[in-house]
Amino acid sequence: MPASKSISLTFTSRESISDLATFIDRSGLVDNSAVRLVAKGNLVVAWVQVLAPRGLNDTTPTVLGMRGAELAVEAKFDIVVPIDSLRARFDNAVESDNVFVVTMPMQTPTVRWKIPLPPQTGWETLGKIGASDLQVVVREGMKIIKRKVPRNAEEHIVRSYRSQVWGTTINGSLGLPAGVALAAETLGFFGDKVMDISVKEPWIRLSSTRGEILAKHTPVILDEA
């Protein structure tokens, strides 16, 4: 059902809109055309998909990125909207009494957002991981994909190699998929030197000051041959 014009978000500043817009823009660098917005009270959380399986035989891990923003007026809704439409609404935010109102665009039905979101509570802290370690994972993963994927390869072949690379476990004891490193790079979360790791089965989470990355892992063994 389309969102009505009465559905809106009231932000405390243009900076908070700009921060959220940058996060959403960066998610568009991967195969992501929609954003899920969950508003509750004085907080709105934007969810984006960096990686997700397509079909029963696709072993690509589900990797999500999220970033929150403070609201000046309480709101409550859970909608999925096109990135391009939302960005246009951000650009046309209406200032009133030192707050900034953004009317939501029409919702876009999508099978990719039928998945339940990770829980908000019950997370167990496991440790930390260095941003430099994740950056190495991204570089090596890109090299493998570039080396193995034939030029002009069909989409299903490209997806197969990407699934292998980004589904590989980079930390055996934690079950952390390489896709979290791709998400951190894509979404610009490498501002912190270290990221906190926590788990709430079947999800594992990386937290930074810029947002969070959450992954539901499907184990894949990478064949280097």
CATH no. for residue 69?
3.10.150
pLDDT digits (tens, 9 = 90+) for 126-146: 999 999 999 999 999 999 999
* Full residue range of the structural domain in which residue 94 is found: 8-111
Q: 26 falls in which pLDDT band (50, 70, 90)?
A: very high
Alpha helices by DSSP H, the chain: 14-27, 83-91, 131-148, 155-167, 179-187
The number of folded domains in the chain is 2
| Alpha-carbon torsion (209, 205, 20, 23), positive or negative | positive
- Strand 99-103, strand 8-11: pairing: antiparallel
**Domain-ending residue, one of 56, 76, 111:** 111
**Domain-ending residue, one of 63, 85, 111:** 111
Whether residues 170 and 130 share a domain: the answer is: yes
Q: 220 falls in which pLDDT band (50, 70, 90)?
A: very low
Cα–Cα distance, 117 to 78 (Å, whole number): 11
- Strand 169-171, strand 176-177: pairing: antiparallel
Cα–Cα distance, 132 to 210 (Å, whole number): 16
First-to-last C-alpha distance (Å) of the chain? 49
Whether residues 104 and 66 share a domain: the answer is: yes
> Range with the lowest mean pLDDT among 15-24, 101-110, 177-186?
101-110
> In Å, how far from its chain's centre is CA 60?
15
- Strand 99-103, strand 34-51: pairing: unpaired
pTM for the full predicted model: 0.89
**Domain-ending residue, one of 45, 79, 111:** 111
Side-chain-side CA neighbours of 14 within 13 Å: the count stands at 8
